[in-house]
Structure 1
Amino acid sequence: MASEDLISRARAGDGEAFRALTEPHRRELHLHCYRMLGSVQDAEDALQDTMVAAWQGLGGFGGQASLRTWLYRIATNKCLNALRTARRRPAKAWDIPGIEPPAPTRQGTAVWLGPFPDSLLDGGFDVPVGPEARYEQTESISLAFVAALQALPPRQLAVLILRDVLGFQASEAAGMLDTTVRSVTSCLTRARANLERQRAHLRHAPSTIGSAQESAIVARFVRAYEAADLTALVELFTDDVFLSMPPMPHEYQGVDVVTQFFRVLLVPGRRYSLVPTRANGGPAFGSYVHGADGQRHATGLFAVTVTDGHISAMTRFENTVLGWFGLPLTLPAGRRTEST
C-alpha cells in the first residue's frame, strides 16, 4: 500500500513522506485542538507539538489503529497538557479608555476563549465522523458550544469531544486516553450531565447559518452600528440577548443591560466602521474606530449569533485576533474594505 511505503520512508527520515502522511489530517486536528483549548493560537501551538511528537514517535506506530486515530491520540494528550497552563490565565481588567461599562450580569470563566476563522474550516470541518457522534458539525464549532465545553473538567472535555463530536467508539477513546472503556463510559455520563448545565449558553446556537434571513439581519446590524443608531440596534436583539468579551470576564444577559452597554459604547462623536468576515460558522466583523489622524484603528472583533431572525448573542474579542482573519490593525479613511 502507498501509505505503508510512506510510513517506511518517513521512519527513515524522509520529511516529504511524513508531510504526505499527515497533511490530510492537519486541518481537522487543528480544529480538534481548538475545541479542546478554545483558542486558535493555543490550538496552533498544540498542533505543532503534535506534529513534532508524531515525527519523533513514528517508529512506535505499530498500525494497530489507523494513522488518523494515532494522531488524534497524540493531539488530545498534548491538549490535556496545555489545558493546565491555559486555565491558569488570569482574567483581564477592563481597559477601554473613556468608557465606563455597566455592572456585568456575571463574571465569565472561559477568559481564554477566542474565535476560529471560517477560512481555516476547509479540510477540517466536513470530516467523516463516527456513528457515535451526537452533534452536528455546525453546532460543534459554534462559539456557544465551544464556550460551554470549556466549563468541563479536562478529562470530561476530551471524552465528550472524542465520543459525541467526533464519534469515536468507547474502545478507541479509551486507547487514546490510556484508560478503560468503563472509565470512558462513566466519564462521558458526567460530561453530558455537566454540559446540560451549560444550556443557558447553548440555546444561543445559530439557526439561520448562511441564509438570506441571516444576511438581512447582519446588514441591519452594520447600518445601525456604523450610524450609532441605538434604537435600530436594540430592535435586532432577542429579549435574553447575551454579550461577552474575553479575555475580560464581563458578561451581560438580557436586552436592558446589553442596551446599557451599547449606550456607553456608541456615543456622539465616536464613529465606527465594521469589516465583514466569518468566525465559528457565523457572521463576524472587524471593528474600527475613526481617529483624528484620518485613519481607522482596530478596536476588536465582534462575532454575532443570529437565531430565529434576531441577534441572540454577541462576543467581542480584542484586536489581537484580527491577524487570523487577514484584517489589519489600521485602515485608511474611506469606504469600508471587504475582508479577505
Structure 2
Amino acid sequence: MEMLDRAIAGDINAFQTLFAEFQTQLKSYLYRLLTDRNDVDDLAHDTFVRAFSGISTFNRESSLKTWVFKIATNLAYDHLRKKKRWSADAQDRGADLALGSDEVRKAFWVVHDNARAGAYEMREHIDFCFTCISKTLPIENQVSLILKDIYDYPIKDIALILDKTEGVVKHLVGDARGVMTDIFDHRCALVNKNGVCDQCSHINAVFNPKQDQQEERMKLELVKASKKYNREELFALRTLLVKAIDPLNSSGTDLQDEIMKCTRTAIGDKKDFFE
C-alpha cells in the first residue's frame, strides 16, 4: 500500500515499479487486440504516460492494474475503430499471399532459421489462430472475451474497463464465445474432420518436415478431446491452451509475428509486407 500511496502522490519510480508488475501481460493483451508489435510498444508507452499523468484521479475502486488496463483498452479502441473487422478467412488470404510470393516465403525462412524465436510449434499457431478469429468480433466483444477467458478478469472488472453493466458484459462474452465456437467448429480440421483449415499441420510440415504431423497433432489435448467433447467444451480447452502462451515471449514469437504480418498485408490492414 505504501508503494501505491507514493505513486498516487506523484512518485514516478514507485509508479514504474507497480506498472512493471503487469507490463508483460498488458503488452500481450494489446498484441492480441492490435496484432502489431510496433503498435503495442507505442500504445504501452502511451498508456504509461497517460496513467501516470492521471494517477491523482485513481480512486481505488478497482486495482491499479484494472485501472491501467482500462486506459490501454480505450487507446486500443481508438486505434481499432478506424479499421475494418477481420473476416473469418483472413488466414486463408494470408496463406494465398505467402504461397504466391517467393519473397514472403523467403522472409519466413530467414526468421525461422536465424531469429531468436523462430521455431514453429503447432500449439503456438493455435494461439495465433485464436487471435485472428477473435478479430472477427466487434471490439467490445473481443475485449470482453479476451479479458474473461484468456486473462481471467472477473465480470465486474471488465464492466469497469468497458463502462458497461455486468449484465451487458455477460452478454458480450456469451455472444463472443458463440461466434468463435461456431467459426472454429466449421473451420478447424484439428477438431472437426470437415473443417476447411488445417493450416497448423500444413505449416508444421513446412518447417518441421521430419516431424510426423499426426504425432504432433496428438500431443494436443484439443485433438485428443475432439471426439469426446462438445464444441463448447472444445472452445474452453482452446482457451486453456491460448492462455498458457505469451504471444510476445515464446519460442516461435518471431515466426508467428511474421505470419501475422503476412495476414495483415493480405487483408489490407498493412500496406506492404516489407515496410
Does structure 2 retain, via aligned residues, the 8 Å contact 1:148–1:201?
Answer: no
Kindly indicate whether residue 63 of structure 2 is the aligned counterpart of residue 74 of structure 1.
Answer: no
In the alignment, what sits opposite 1:315?
A: 259
Question: Aligned match of 1:174 in 145, 151, 159?
Answer: 159
Residues 1:65 and 1:303: Cα distance change in structure 2 (over 3 Å)? closer
Residues 1:302 and 1:237: Cα distance change in structure 2 (over 3 Å)? farther
1:154-211 deviations in Å (ceiling 9; x for gaps): 010011011111121211111111110111111112111111233115845969xxxx
SS in structure 2 of the partner of residue 176 of structure 1? helix
Q: Partner letter of residue 154 of structure 1? A: I
Question: Shift of residue 20 of structure 1?
Answer: 1.1
Question: Shift of residue 149 of structure 1?
Answer: 1.0
Distance 2:154 2:125 in 1: 18
More helix by share: 2
Residues 1:181 and 1:31: Cα distance change in structure 2 (over 3 Å)? same
Question: Aligned match of 2:37 in 14, 37, 40?
Answer: 40
Distance 2:39 2:159 in 1: 25
SS in structure 2 of the partner of residue 198 of structure 1? helix
Question: Shift of residue 5 of structure 1?
Answer: 2.4
Paired residues for 1:282-301 under 5 Å? 283=252
In the alignment, what sits opposite 2:15?
A: 18
In the alignment, what sits opposite 2:232?
A: none
Question: Shift of residue 13 of structure 1?
Answer: 2.9
Q: Is the deviation greater in 139-148 or in 170-179?
A: 139-148
Residues 1:173 and 1:154: Cα distance change in structure 2 (over 3 Å)? same
Residues 1:100 and 1:51: Cα distance change in structure 2 (over 3 Å)? closer
In the alignment, what sits opposite 2:209?
A: 220
In the alignment, what sits opposite 1:195?
A: 180
Question: Aligned match of 2:52 in 32, 55, 62?
Answer: 55
In the alignment, what sits opposite 1:163?
A: 148
Kindly indicate whether residue 40 of structure 2 is the aligned counterpart of residue 6 of structure 1.
Answer: no
SS in structure 2 of the partner of residue 13 of structure 1? coil
Question: Shift of residue 7 of structure 1?
Answer: 2.7
Does structure 1 retain, via aligned residues, the 8 Å contact 2:141–2:176?
Answer: yes
Distance 2:77 2:183 in 1: 21
Scaled by the length of structure 1, the TM-score of the pair is 0.47
Name the structure, 1 or 2, with higher relative contact order (CA <8 Å, separation 6+).
2
More strand by share: 1
Question: Aligned match of 1:183 in 136, 143, 168?
Answer: 168
Q: Partner letter of residue 55 of structure 1? A: F
Asked which structure has the greater CA Rg, the reply is: 1
Residues 1:316 and 1:184: Cα distance change in structure 2 (over 3 Å)? closer
Distance 1:70 1:205 in 2: 38
Paired residues for 1:144-159 under 5 Å? 144-159=129-144
Taking only aligned residues, the RMSD between alpha carbons, in angstroms, comes to: 4.2
Scaled by the length of structure 2, the TM-score of the pair is 0.57
SS in structure 1 of the partner of residue 22 of structure 2? helix
In the alignment, what sits opposite 2:100?
A: 101
Distance 2:26 2:256 in 1: 23
Distance 1:141 1:24 in 2: 27
Distance 1:150 1:22 in 2: 27
Does structure 2 retain, via aligned residues, the 8 Å contact 1:80–1:154?
Answer: yes
Q: Partner letter of residue 315 of structure 1? A: I
Distance 1:165 1:155 in 2: 15
**Structure 1 vs Structure 2: percent identity of aligned residues?**
26
Residues 1:74 and 1:10: Cα distance change in structure 2 (over 3 Å)? same
Distance 1:24 1:315 in 2: 29
Q: Partner letter of residue 191 of structure 1? A: A
Distance 2:142 2:126 in 1: 14
In the alignment, what sits opposite 1:30?
A: 27
SS in structure 2 of the partner of residue 315 of structure 1? helix
Does structure 2 retain, via aligned residues, the 8 Å contact 1:143–1:280?
Answer: no
